[in-house]
Amino acid sequence: MHALLTTLVATLGLGLTSWGFARALRHRFAVRDRVRSLRGRRSGVLLYAVGGLVLLLPDLIVSALLAAPPSDDPALAVLGTLGGLLWRAAVVLGMSVGALVLWLTSERVTTPVRAGIVAAIDRVPRRADFEHAALRRRAGLIDFPREWTALVEHDRALARRLLGQGNHFEAAVLGVGATIAVPSGHARSAVRQAPVEDLSALRDWHDPVTRRALEALVECDRVRTPVPPRGTRDVLGSDYGRAVAAFEAAVVAAEDNARRRAAG
């Protein structure tokens, strides 16, 4: 009777362990509701632990309910003790492997691993990367920003160069010739910037070169987004990056034009 109950308790422990293990894995990968998934995984781990404890000590649990009959054969007693030790060793080994699997599938492990894999994949050169590198060499944009934040700062610096160098923005806006709506953020940056030199052509919005620079500024403001487009490695691959590159070329052309007009 004692042996039969021990077998039944061990079977119950095995069932609880298997159910808890399967439940923990299912709620880790198959349930989209995060709260429900977390609760299901915790309950699965709890069932796994309780089942493992029952599976580890079935004879002690039965002995607490039913006294074990005395053994008259010392050899059988030794074999029983040795078998119990081997059983516990096998259960501990199996439970350890299961616990390792549950730990490896936890968010604490999978999240950084997934991030590392994504980062490694992102570092693999793509065809577009070689195209952007070739574009930088051809256009002389080796020092052009590569990150989104640096690109936004470069855009603002170009706006200050265009609107701040002797270009009295508020007076121009109020003047008759002001027909282009310059973004307010760029305007505030320009008003704060003190004129570096008196380049009168930069105040002439009827000058075609200056006007193209102003149109490039407006285009940058139109295509700029709060965050880079998904999958952006080099900002030159985005509309905003190309717009800022065109804006930079237009600002340089406007400054050269203003200097030529001032010298002539």
pTM of structure: 0.48
Task: State whether 145 and 243 are in the same domain.
Answer: yes
pLDDT tier at 108, thresholds 50, 70, 90: confident
Give the SS3 label for residue 226: coil
Q: Is the pLDDT of residue 65 over 50?
A: yes
Domain stop point among 62, 87, 119: 119
Task: State whether 97 and 216 are in the same domain.
Answer: no
Domain stop point among 71, 96, 119: 119
Which residue pairs from 197-200 have beta carbons closer than 8 angstroms and sit at least 24 positions apart in sequence?
A: 197/165, 197/166, 198/166, 198/262, 199/165, 199/166, 199/167, 199/255, 199/258, 199/259, 199/262, 200/166, 200/258, 200/261, 200/262
Interatomic CA distance for residues 162 and 164, integer angstroms:
6
Which domain range does residue 27 map to?
2-119
- Mean pLDDT over each residue of the chain, to the nearest integer: 77
pLDDT at 178: 41
pLDDT tens digit string along 218-234?
999 999 988 888 767 77
Question: Tokens representing 181?
Answer: 């709506």
pLDDT at 138: 67
Domain stop point among 100, 119, 138: 119
- DSSP-derived letter for residue 218 is H
| Number of domains the chain contains | 2
